[in-house]
C-alpha cells in the first residue's frame, strides 16, 4: 500500500485541509470499527505510540494509538493554523508539522512566491522530507491552496516547484480554489494568473474548484432541503459539541469530499483497483492540459435524507451535467479529452460496463453510493478566458513597482494554454470524429 | 512433464488463481493414467500440501495477497510460500513504466523466483505466462519477463495467455499498451493465446445467465476453457498414453509459421448449472455447432449465423479475400479440437477437417488435429474445446490498432511513454509490425 502527504498552504488551503482531515477520520472510524491500524488508514495517517521511547510509528495491524496526519501545514500568518491546533483536530498534528509566520503575504503573490519562498522554502521541504521518511512508499502529494490570495497562491506554487525538484517520481495533485468574479480580494486575478503558470508547468494534475460553483451548489441544496442540513451528512461539519459552523465550512466540505472520493479506491479494496498515478496516466493526454474539472453526485441527497436517493443511472448523467461541476462550466457543450468516473459503494461491474471506470467497495459515510467524475474537457478554457479578461482590465490600471517581466510571462503562459485548448476544439469541429487517420500500408 | 505458470499483474493473478482452482477440482475427480494433471500443474510441498507450480508477480501487493489467501482458503491447494514477487506501487497503466523501469529494476529477483519453480520440475514442458495487455504491469513487466524467459530457457516452449480489454475499457491508454505488448511478444512467444473480455462477458450474460457479472465470473469461463486445453489428453501420436508435452504439441499443431501465432479458443457446451439437468448433448450435435461457430466466427453457441458456408475450395488470392467480407466466412490456418467425456472415441470430427475451411498451402490433414480424453471435464459429460489459428482475432486486432493509431495521430499521451524511454519511433515500429500481422491474416481469406 502506498501513502500520500497533504501539503496545505495559506488560509484557504488550511481550512479546506482541516475539513478533509475531519471527514477522513470520520470515514475511517465508520469503516474501521475494531480500532485496528490498517493499510487504508496508513495511506494518510501514521500510528504513533507515544509511550515508546522513540515515539516511532507502529506497524500495520496493531492497535490504533495516536493517529498523526501525513500533512504539512504552512501559512504566513498564525490565525488559521493556531485555530486548528487548538481545535478538535489538535491531536492529529504536532508542532513539527507546522510552519507559520506572522504577517501574511497581503494578497500579494510575489511576496508569497519570492520573499517567503526564499525565506522558508528549504524549511518547508525539510518538513516534507521528514513526513516522507515516515512513508513506506510515498506515491502522491496533495497540495491544497487558493489562487486568489498571496500565501497559498504564491508560496503554495513555490512549494510545488520544490516538490518537483526534490521528489521527481512522486505524483503532484493540486487542488486549487479559484476566486469568484466578485471576490473581495482585488488582486485575485493577478495572483491567479501568476499561479496558473506554475501549475501549468509543475503540477501533474490540477483539480480546479471555483468558489462561485460551491456557492451555487449550496444554494440549490438549501432550496431543496430547507435551512437545515442533515447533521450527520458528510456536508455538515460535525465537530464534537456542536461547534458553530464557520463561513467557508460547508463549501470546504464539498472540496474535502472530492479529495476523499479521489483517494477512496486507493485506500479501500475495490474490484477495479486504482492507483493514484493512473489518474494522470489516463486523464492527461498532453502534458500542459492537466486541468481536470471535478463533479460530485449525488450532491443533493448528500444533504438531506428526505430527497429520495438518486437512481444509479440518474447519477451517471448528473455527473456530466452543468449543475454538478465544481467549476462554472458545461462539459457537455465542449470537447472531452478524457474522463474518469470513480464510483463508490454498491455499484456492480455491470453498472460500470456502461462506462464507469473505477470502483471502490466502501461507500462514503451515510450513503449507499456516490460518484465522482473528473473531466479533462476544453470547457475549462472558458473560465481561463474569463480570468484573463479580469486580469487584463486590472492590468490597464496597474500600479507602479510591479515586475513587468513576470506578469507578461504569466499572461503569455495562460494565453498559450488557452490557445492549446482552442486548437483541439478546432480540430474536433473541422474533422468528423468518425474519420480515421490513414493507416500504415503494408506491402503484400 | 510439468508446466510453470507465471501470473503477472492484477488480471494475470486473478485469472491464474481461477485456473488452478479448476484444474485442481478436475484433477482430483479422476486419475489420468500416465502423466497426471496434478503433476503437470502441482507439486507437493514439504508438508504434503498440493502446491501450484506458479509464480505470482505484481508491482503492488493487494491482488497477490488476495489470490494467495483465496487459494489457501480453498483447502485443496495453495501457492508456494515464497513463489511470489511484489512491490508497493503498480505501473499505473503505463506499459513503458513496466517494461523500461520495473522490469529491468527487478530482473534478478523475478528470474530467481521463476528459476526456483523451474528447478522443482523433473522435466519442464514449458512456461505459460498469464496477463492482461491493457494495464501497465501485466503488459509491460509481462513483456519484459517473457524476454528474460526466452533468454534463460531458449529451448522451452513459451505460451503467452493474454486477456484483451473490453473495447470500451476502463483504461484510456489500453490500446497503446496492447499494441506495445503484442508487437513485442510476437517476436518472443511460441504462441499467443487470447481471451477477449467482451466475448467472455457475453458468454456469462447470454449462456450462463449471470445477472451481475463480476471478474470472478469472467475468469471462471476463461479458466474453464484454458483447463479444457491444458488438462491431459491423448494425441494421435501418443498411442493410448496421455501426452507428456502439451505445450509442444499445441504449438506444433497450430503454429506452423512464425507470422501466424494468434490463437483463439471457444468451448461447447457452456450452460448455467441450473439448466444442466434439461440439456442433452450428443457428439454429432456439439460438433455441428462448433463447426458453424468456427466458420461463421461466432464466439458462442448463441446467435450463430447458419447462413455462412465455406466457399468452394480456394480459387485464389484477392478474389477470395473479398468474398470473405461478403459472406462472413472465417478462414482457418490450423485448428486443434479437444474432446473430453463419454464415448469420445466414437466422435466423428470430419466436418472440421474439410479442405474448404483452410488455406490452400497447408493440407487439411496437417492443419487439423484432434486430442481426446475419455475423462469427463468439469461438470460436463461431454465437452469440446476448439483452439483456432484463424481470422477470428483479425477484427478485434484491427480495431485495437486503429484506435491506437488515431490517438497516435495527435500524439496524445505519448509524453507519458517518452518519459520512461519509449520513443515515437518505438511506437512506429510496433504499429508497423502489427500492420504486418493484420495484413498476413487478411490474406488468409
Ligand atoms: N473555498 C474557500 N475559499 C477560501 C477560503 N478562505 C479563503 N478563500 C478564498 O481564497 C482567496 C483568498 O486567499 P487566502 O487563502 O485567504 O489567502 P492566503 O493564501 O492566506 O494568502 P494571504 O492571506 O495573502 O497571506 C479568496 O478568493 C477567498 O475567497 C476557504 O476556507 N474556502
Ligand atoms: N478477465 C479479466 N480481466 C481483468 C481482470 N482484472 C483486470 N482485467 C482487465 O485488465 C486490464 C487492466 O489491467 P490490469 O491487469 O488490472 O493491470 P496490471 O497488469 O495490474 O497493471 P497496473 O495496475 O497498471 O500496474 C483491463 O482491460 C481489465 O478489464 C480480471 O480479473 N479478469
Ligand atoms: Mg492569509
Ligand atoms: Mg495492477
CATH number at residue A46: 3.40.50.1440
A249-253, A436-440, B205-209, B369-373, range with the lowest pLDDT: A436-440
Domain presence at residue A414: no
> Does the beta carbon of B61 lie inside 6 Å of ligand 2?
no
Q: Which domain holds residue B288?
A: 280-392
Mean of all residue pLDDT scores within chain B:
92
Rounded-to-5 percentages of helix, strand, coil across chain B = 50, 20, 30
The residue with greater pLDDT, B258 or B242, is: B258
- Per-residue pLDDT averaged across A35-45, rounded? 89
At A25, list the grid cell.
477520520
What pLDDT is recorded for position A238? 43
Quote the minimal CA–CA distance from A139 to chain B in Å.
8
Total of domains in chain B: 3
Domain presence at residue B409: yes
Residue nearest to atom 2 of ligand 1 (CA): A12
Highest-confidence segment of A45-49, A285-289, B314-318? A285-289
Domain presence at residue A236: yes
Task: In whole angstroms, give the CA distance from residue A31 to residue A116.
Answer: 41
In tens, the pLDDT along B402-438 reads 999 999 998 999 999 999 999 999 999 999 999 999 9
Domain boundary among B207, B234, B265: B265
Domain presence at residue B334: yes
**Which of B59, B100, B172 best probes binding to A when mutated, by most A CB atoms within 10 angstroms?**
B172
Quote the minimal CA–CA distance from A362 to chain B in Å.
16
B154's enclosing H/E stretch is: none
Domain presence at residue B273: no
Do B256 and B294 belong to one domain? no
Do B124 and B212 belong to one domain? yes
Complex-level ipTM: 0.84
**Which of B11, B61, B89 best probes binding to A when mutated, by most A CB atoms within 10 angstroms?**
B89
Confidence of residue A241 (pLDDT cuts 50, 70, 90): very low
Pairing of strands A138-146, A3-9: parallel
Residues A338, B94: C-beta atoms closer than 8 Å = no
In tens, the pLDDT along A347-368 reads 555 445 443 333 333 444 444 4
Do B221 and B82 belong to one domain? yes
CA–centroid distance, B369 to ligand 4, in Å, is 37
Which residue of B135, B219, B396, B416 sits with most ligand 2 atoms within 8 Å of its CB, as the best mutation to test the pocket?
B135
Task: In whole angstroms, give the CA distance from residue A283 to residue B28.
Answer: 48
Name the residue among B299, B310, B394 with its Cα closest to residue B352: B310
Domain presence at residue A240: yes
Task: In whole angstroms, give the CA distance from residue B377 to residue A256.
Answer: 54
Do B163 and B231 belong to one domain? yes
Task: In whole angstroms, give the CA distance from residue A357 to residue A341.
Answer: 5
Which residue of B6, B8, B10, B66 sits with most ligand 2 atoms within 8 Å of its CB, as the best mutation to test the pocket?
B10
In tens, the pLDDT along B342-380 reads 999 999 999 999 999 999 888 989 999 999 999 899 889
Total of domains in chain A: 1
Give me the numbers of helices (H) and strands (E) for chain A, helices first please: 15, 12
Q: Which domain holds residue A27?
A: 3-269
Residues A139, B90: C-beta atoms closer than 8 Å = no
Do B381 and B407 belong to one domain? no
What pLDDT is recorded for position A31? 82
With beta carbons less than 8 A apart as the criterion, state whether B420 and B97 touch: yes
pLDDT at A406 over 80: yes
Confidence of residue A24 (pLDDT cuts 50, 70, 90): very high
> Does the beta carbon of B34 lie inside 6 Å of ligand 2?
no
Q: Following DSSP, what letter does each residue of B190-240 receive, concatenated?
A: SEEEEEEHHHHHHIIIIIS--SS--HHHHHHHHHHHHHHHHS--B-GGGTT
Do B407 and B303 belong to one domain? no
- Per-residue pLDDT averaged across B271-294, rounded? 89
Name the residue of chain B whose CA is nearest to A290's CA: B413
Task: In whole angstroms, give the CA distance from residue A6 to residue B171.
Answer: 27
Name the residue of chain B whose CA is nearest to A135's CA: B88
* pTM of structure: 0.90
Do B388 and B428 belong to one domain? no
Give me the numbers of helices (H) and strands (E) for chain B, helices first please: 18, 12
Which of B10, B88, B435 has the CB atom closest to A137's CB atom? B88
Do B288 and B423 belong to one domain? no
With beta carbons less than 8 A apart as the criterion, state whether A191 and A109 touch: yes
A17's enclosing H/E stretch is: helix A10-31
CA angle A250, A330, A258 (to 5 degrees): 35
Domain presence at residue B39: yes
- Per-residue pLDDT averaged across B334-344, rounded? 95
Quote the minimal CA–CA distance from B176 to chain A in Å.
11
Do B386 and B409 belong to one domain? no
Which chain B residues are within 8 Å of A442, Cβ to Cβ? 432, 435-436, 438-439
Domain boundary among B241, B265, B289: B265
Residue A44 makes CB contacts below 8 A (sequence gap 6+) with A3, A4, A6, A24, A69, A70, A263, A267
Domain presence at residue B174: yes
Name the residue of chain A whose CA is nearest to B202's CA: A350
Domain presence at residue A397: no
Which of A136, A350, A444 has the CB atom closest to B88's CB atom? A136
Confidence of residue B271 (pLDDT cuts 50, 70, 90): very high
Domain presence at residue A412: no
Domain presence at residue A85: yes
Quote the minimal CA–CA distance from A2 to chain B in Å.
6
With beta carbons less than 8 A apart as the criterion, state whether A172 and B124 touch: no
Domain boundary among B240, B265, B290: B265
Do B148 and B260 belong to one domain? yes
Among the bound ligands, name the one nearest to the CA of residue B161: 2
Confidence of residue A399 (pLDDT cuts 50, 70, 90): low
Atom of ligand 2 nearest to the CA of B218: 1
- Hey, is B352 helix, strand or coil? helix
Domain presence at residue A177: yes
Query: Does residue A436 belong to the interface with chain B, where contact is any CB pair within 8 Å?
Result: yes
pLDDT at B29 over 70: no
Highest-confidence segment of A115-124, B244-253, B322-331? A115-124
Which of A272, A277, A355 has the CB atom closest to B168's CB atom? A355
Domain presence at residue A406: no
Residue B101 makes CB contacts below 8 A (sequence gap 6+) with B91, B420
Query: Residue B417's CB: how many other CB atoms inside 10 A?
Result: 24
Domain presence at residue B171: yes
Q: If you search the block for the grid coordinates 511470489, which residue do you land on? A: B84
Query: Does residue B324 belong to the interface with chain A, where contact is any CB pair within 8 Å?
Result: no
Do B376 and B418 belong to one domain? no
Task: In whole angstroms, give the CA distance from residue A145 to residue A156.
Answer: 7
At B429, list the grid cell.
515500429
Do B414 and B332 belong to one domain? no
Confidence of residue A232 (pLDDT cuts 50, 70, 90): very low
Amino acid at each position: 500500500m502506498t501513502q500520500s502527504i497533504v501539503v496545505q498552504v495559506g488560509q484557504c488551503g488550511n481550512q479546506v485541509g482541516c475539513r478533509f482531515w475531519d471527514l477522513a477520520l470520520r470515514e475511517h472510524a465508520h469503516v474501521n470499527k475494531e480500532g485496528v491500524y490498517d493499510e487504508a488508514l496508513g495511506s494518510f495517517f501514521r500510528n504513533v505510540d507515544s509511550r515508546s521511547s522513540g515515539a516511532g510509528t507502529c506497524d500495520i495491524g496493531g492497535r490504533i494509538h495516536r493517529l498523526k496526519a501525513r500533512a504539512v501545514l504552512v501559512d504566513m500568518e498564525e490565525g488559521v493554523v493556531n485555530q486548528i491546533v487548538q481545535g478538535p483536530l489538535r491531536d492529529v498534528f504536532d508542532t513539527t508539522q507546522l510552519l507559520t509566520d506572522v504577517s501574511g503575504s497581503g494578497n500579494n503573490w510575489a511576496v508569497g512566491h519570492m520573499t517567503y519562498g526564499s525565506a522558508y522554502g528549504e524549511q518547508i521541504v525539510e518538513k516534507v522530507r521528514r513526513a516522507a521518511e515516515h512513508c513506506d512508499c510515498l506515491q502522491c502529494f496533495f497540495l491544497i491552496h487558493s489562487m486568489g490570495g498571496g500565501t497559498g497562491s504564491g508560496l503554495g506554487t513555490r512549494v510545488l516547484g520544490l516538490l518537483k525538484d526534490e521528489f521527481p517520481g512522486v505524483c503532484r495533485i493540486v487542488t486549487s480554489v479559484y476566486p469568484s468574479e466578485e471576490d473581495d480580494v482585488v488582486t485575485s486575478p493577478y495572483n491567479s494568473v501568476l499561479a496558473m503558470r506554475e501549475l501549468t508547468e509543475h503540477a501533474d494534475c490540477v483539480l480546479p474548484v471555483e468558489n462561485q460553483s460551491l456557492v451555487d451548489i449550496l444554494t440549490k441544496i438549501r432550496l431543496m432541503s430547507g435551512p437545515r442540513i442533515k447533521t450527520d451528512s458528510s456536508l455538515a461539519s460535525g465537530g464534537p459539541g456542536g461547534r458553530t459552523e464557520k463561513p467557508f465550512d460547508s463549501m470546504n466540505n464539498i472540496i474535502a469530499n472530492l479529495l476523499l472520493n479521489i483517494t477512496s479506491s486507493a485506500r479501500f479494496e475495490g474490484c477495479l483497483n486504482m492507483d493514484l498515478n493512473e489518474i494522470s496516466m489516463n486523464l492527461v493526454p498532453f502534458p500542459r492540459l492537466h486541468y481536470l474539472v471535478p463533479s460530485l453526485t449525488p450532491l443533493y441527497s448528500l444533504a438531506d435524507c428526505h430527497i429520495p436517493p438518486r437512481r444509479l443511472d440518474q447519477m451517471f448523467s448528473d455527473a456530466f451535467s452543468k449543475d454538478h461541476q465544481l467549476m462554472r462550466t458545461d462539459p457537455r457543450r465542449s470537447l472531452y479529452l478524457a474522463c474518469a468516473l470513480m464510483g463508490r459503494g454498491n455499484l456492480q461491474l455491470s453498472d460500470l460496463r456502461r462506462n464507469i471506470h473505477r470502483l471502490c467497495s466502501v461507500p462514503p459515510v451515510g450513503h449507499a453510493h456516490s460518484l465522482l467524475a473528473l473531466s479533462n474537457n476544453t470547457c475549462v478554457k472558458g473560465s481561463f478566458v474569463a480570468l484573463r479578461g479580469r486580469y487584463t482590465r486590472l492590468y490597464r490600471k496597474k500600479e507602479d513597482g510591479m515586475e513587468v517581466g513576470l506578469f507578461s510571462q504569466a499572461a503569455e503562459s495562460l494565453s498559450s494554454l488557452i490557445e492549446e485548448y482552442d486548437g483541439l476544439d478546432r480540430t474536433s469541429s473541422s474533422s468528423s470524429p468518425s474519420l480515421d487517420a490513414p493507416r500504415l500500408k503494408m506491402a503484400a | 512433464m510439468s508446466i510453470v505458470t507465471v501470473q503477472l499483474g492484477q488480471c494475470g493473478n486473478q485469472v491464474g488463481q481461477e485456473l488452478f482452482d479448476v484444474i485442481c477440482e478436475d484433477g482430483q475427480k479422476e486419475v489420468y493414467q500416465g502423466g497426471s494433471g496434478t503433476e503437470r500443474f502441482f507439486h507437493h510441498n514439504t508438508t504434503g500440501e498440493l502446491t501450484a507450480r506458479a509464480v505470482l508477480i505484481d508491482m503492488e501487493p493487494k491482488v497477490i495477497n488476495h489470490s494467495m489467501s483465496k487459494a489457501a482458503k480453498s483447502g485443496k491447494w495453495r501457492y508456494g510460500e515464497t513463489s511470489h514477487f511484489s512491490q508497493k506501487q503498480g505501473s499505473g497503466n503505463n506499459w513503458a513504466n513496466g517494461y523500461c523501469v520495473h522490469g529491468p529494476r527487478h530482473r534478478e529477483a523475478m528470474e530467481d523466483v521463476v528459476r526456483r519453480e523451474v528447478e522443482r520440475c523433473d522435466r519442464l514442458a514449458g512456461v505459460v505466462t498469464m496477463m492482461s495487455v491493457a494495464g501497465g504491469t501485466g503488459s509491460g513487466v509481462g513483456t519484459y519477463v517473457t524476454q528474460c524467459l526466452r533468454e534463460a530457457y531458449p529451448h522451452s516452449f513459451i505460451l503467452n495467455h493474454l486477456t484483451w480489454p473490453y473495447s470500451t475499457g476502463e483504461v484510456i491508454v489500453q490500446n497503446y499498451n496492447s499494441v506495445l505488448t503484442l508487437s513485442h511478444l510476437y517476436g518472443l512467444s511460441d504462441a499467443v493465446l487470447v481471451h477477449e473480455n467482451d466475448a467472455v462477458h457475453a458468454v456469462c450474460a447470454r449462456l450462463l445467465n449471470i445477472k451481475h457479472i463480476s471478474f470472478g465470473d469472467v475468469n471462471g469461463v476463461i479458466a474453464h476453457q484454458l483447463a479444457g486445453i491444458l488438462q491431459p489428453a491423448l494425441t494421435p501420436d501418443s498411442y493410448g498414453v496421455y501426452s507428456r508435452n502439451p505445450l509442444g504439441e499445441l504449438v506444433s499443431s497450430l503454429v506452423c509459421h512464425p507470422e501466424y501465432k494468434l490463437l483463439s479458443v471457444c468451448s461447447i457446451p457452456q450452460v448455467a448449472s441450473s439448466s444442466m439437468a434439461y440439456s442433452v448433448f450428443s457428439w454429432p450435435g456439439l460438433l455441428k455447432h462448433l463447426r458453424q461457430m468456427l466458420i461463421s466466427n461466432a464466439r458462442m453457441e448463441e446467435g450463430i449465423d447458419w447462413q455462412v458456408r465455406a466457399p468452394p475450395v480456394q480459387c485464389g488470392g484477392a478474389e477470395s479475400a473479398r468474398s470473405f467480407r461478403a459472406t462472413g466466412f472465417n478462414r482457418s490456418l490450423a485448428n486443434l479440437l479437444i474432446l473430453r467425456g463419454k464415448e469420445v472415441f466414437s466422435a466423428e470430427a470430419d466436418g472440421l477437417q474439410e479442405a474448404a475451411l483452410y488455406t490452400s498451402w497447408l493440407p487439411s490433414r496437417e492443419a487439423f488435429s484432434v486430442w481426446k480424453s475419455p475423462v469427463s471435464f468439469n461438470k460436463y459429460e461431454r465437452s469440446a474445446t476448439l483452439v483456432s489459428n484463424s481470422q477470428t482475432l483479425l477484427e478485434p486486432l484491427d480495431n485495437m490498432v486503429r484506435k491506437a493509431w488515431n490517438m497516435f495521430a495527435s500524439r496524445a499521451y505519448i509524453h507519458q511513454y517518452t518519459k520512461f524511454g519509449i520513443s515515437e519511433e518505438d511506437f512506429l515500429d510496433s504499429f508497423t509490425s502489427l500492420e504486418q500481422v493484420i495484413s498476413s491474416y487478411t490474406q488468409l481469406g
